[in-house]
Amino acid sequence: MQEICIPTTAGPMAGLRNHGKGPRVLALHGWLDNAASFLPMAPWLRDFDLVAIDQLGHGRSAHLPAGAEYNFATAINGVLDVADALDWERFSLLGHSMGAGIASLIAAACPERIEALVAIEALGALTEAPDRTVVRLREAIQAHRGRVARPLRVFPDIETAVRARAYASRVPGSGLEEALVRLLVERGVRQVSDGFSWSSDPRLTLPTLSRMTEPQVDDLLAGIDCPALVVLADPAQPYLPDPVRRRRVSLLRRGTLEVLPGGHHLHMQQPEAVGKRVAAFLEAHTGRG
């Protein structure tokens, strides 16, 4: 895949693109990941025009200006800006984790533009109980207003950054192999005078001021018109228990569920198994060009 840079209203967004032929597929990575997360499964999507972007604040893409907040509205508009810049009127969405949440909201919001949806390890948005609205708002404002700028950690070399990322993201039974971590790290750091630092915007770790309620997410999912493939790992993630995620999938009008044993990054850990399923689904539900 080749490096690309796409101008948007929020600033340049970087990404990776294959040969540019076939049905159009826009890939959206997870939180604090980047476009490189789709490299392992890209060989199984060679019959598609695959564009994987670094979402705003991630990888090699622009950061939002001071005072702006990273939220779903900003992310949705960033993705649509990319599609407009590519001159894609209709296309499919492939998302992992946070990217799957954003993709599912776009599919609900823009049914006339989305041919098919593939959501890996997420569907819809993280929710909040209505009676925690004030608590969340207060905590988020305190975090945003009280944030003290501090220098990003500097690593002497890429190897040290790889070890740090592997340690920070370790999950029993589902940790990424070093080679896969390296893909994310090499695209997720920038060179500074005395080594390497993370390129992602530190504000991405701040809490959002508000979240949707579960009924709101239910309404959005029920409004997705396009065919949708949801690929989930077993065991489920704590923030989206199995009963909740299965109920969400059941709300899709044209949804298909695949559950595979593996970790949260199963599209990187099992690229062939996931890639073949995704390719078959997209082949069945997308047009040419």
The catalytic site residues sit at: 97
- What are the contacts of 272-278 at 24+ separation with CB within 8 A? 272/41, 272/44, 274/41, 274/120, 274/231, 275/41, 275/42, 275/43, 275/44, 275/45, 276/44, 277/229, 277/231, 278/41, 278/44, 278/45, 278/94, 278/118, 278/229, 278/231
**Which tokens belong to 84?**
């407009």
d(CA 260, CA 278): 13
Token match 């608590």: residue?
135
Query: Mapping DSSP to helix (H, G, I), strand (E, B) and coil, where does residue 166 land?
Result: helix
Nearest Cα to Cα of residue 18 among 48, 60, 44, 59: 48
Cross-strand bridge partners of residue 58: none
User: What ranges make up the beta strands (E) of 170-279?
Assistant: 189-192, 195-198, 228-234, 255-261
Cα distances (Å, whole numbers) of residue 270 to 36, 87, 274: 15, 32, 6
- Helix, strand or coil, per DSSP, at residue 181: helix
* Cβ pair 263, 174 in contact under 8 A: yes
d(CA 110, CA 224): 9
Hunting for tokens 């990003």 — which residue is that? 152
